[in-house]
Chains A and B, each alone.
Chain A
């Protein structure tokens, strides 16, 4: 038995055990929850007994630290999305261009946060409030739709393999049904037709989503609710295609 430890299999397992720790281990990021700091800020604001200058200075320090942490969190959020986006493999130039455009917008976001973070160093109390407001408004007016669009794009890209698999399944099914002359059965014929219709609908909505991304990229626009609606619709039709496959399977077993 001892000799088993020295076999290549044993060495391989040992190597795998060692290597699992070596590649791209990211330390756990701090949670992006700020309730404790907000509470601390509230306490500083209410402090009595210290002179107003001290109180203001302490409040300002807490505000600045909180703003920095918020920006770090927001930056990480954008960086993660950008990384997820970069890991997608796309096979046509138009969607690749849409991907690049989203990545560029996320880069601009990250730069914006970087600039705001630097500005915090020199702000006073009023200016720190203004900074918070401007970041919030910018996120609402700009980043929210960018993040939505990027997430939609990632979900859509990951759907493509599912679409191809379903197409392959349907093609196999056609072949099988023809080969064993199962098409003569009315029930099976109906179900096969139903599967084809559902899949056609899925592919059509999938293509509509793709066109939305491409058009948006060309026009510099963002329509996340439009692309999401098409994505959901295509997934719904894909789910119905598979439901039909399950029904067919049940019928074939009988």
Chain B
């Protein structure tokens, strides 16, 4: 048997169940001795000041709330259509649309996709293209940040002189390694 297989087999070692139950109970019931470090003192101050802030806001809402809301939304019909809120919600949808467009998916072999034509039609003017050609330069910052996190786009090369078509990512590098 391969050494690595042998070592992997050691993963099957497990503690005794009764021991685990007892130990867990004892550990979790052990009182914690909170050592007062300067950070903990400051953190407690922050917690209590935040709590005061939240409580104040709640008082304002409950006792002054109705009048505040009336000031913010004059007239019943426009209450639902506060323009700033509507715009913010519409922008959030737009961000999701752009992210969905960035997730270019090549249909896999054998996968039947009756909605393939829909995929080919972008829902916005943003073109749907494989991520290799899309960089952070041509999309909104808030979309770019989320897209980078999801691996939908890559950062520009640290050396700005390298044009995008010369960037070598994981899969390209692997291709070059087995040539």
Q: Which residue numbers of A lie inside 8 Å of B, CB to CB?
A: 8, 11-12, 15-16, 18-19, 22, 31-35, 37-38, 41, 63, 66-67, 70, 73-74, 77, 80-81, 84, 115, 118, 128-130, 132-133, 135-136, 139-140, 144-145, 147-148, 151-152, 154-155, 158-159, 162, 165-166, 169, 172-173, 176, 179-180, 182, 222-226, 228-233, 235-236, 238-239, 242, 245-246, 248-249, 252-253
Contact = CB atoms under 8 A, between A and B. Distances in A.
B87 to A, nearest CB: 9
B115 to A, nearest CB: 4
A70 B100 contact: no
A230 B105 CA distance: 13
B96 A155 contact: yes
B49 to A, nearest CB: 5
A1 B76 CA distance: 45
Given A242-B89, A249-B81, 14 more contacts: A8-B45, A11-B45, A35-B167, A66-B177, A70-B170, A74-B170, A133-B178, A140-B171, A180-B76, A229-B116, A232-B119, A239-B90, A239-B94, A245-B81
Interface string B154-178: 1101100010001111111111111
A80 B173 contact: no
Contacts of A118: 4
B118 A32 contact: no
Contacts of A130: 178
A175 B100 CA distance: 33
A136 B169 contact: no
Interface residues on B, range: 35 or more
A96 B77 CA distance: 39
Contact of A252 (B78, B90, B113): B78
Nearest to B81: A249
Interface of B: 4, 39, 42-43, 45-46, 49-50, 76-81, 83, 86, 89-90, 92-94, 96-97, 99-101, 103, 105-108, 111, 113, 115-116, 118-119, 123, 149-152, 154-155, 157-158, 162, 166-178
Contacts of B176: 38, 41
B100 A176 contact: no
Nearest to B83: A249
Nearest to A34: B173
12 contacts: A19-B43, A33-B162, A34-B173, A35-B157, A35-B167, A133-B174, A133-B178, A136-B175, A144-B106, A229-B118, A232-B119, A239-B93
A145 B113 CA distance: 15
A239 B155 contact: no
Contacts of A229: 113, 115-116, 118-119
A77 B177 contact: no
Contacts of B92: 162
Contact of A173 (B80, B93, B152, B171): B80
Nearest to B77: A252
B149 A80 contact: yes
Contact of B169 (A32, A115, A236, A253): A32
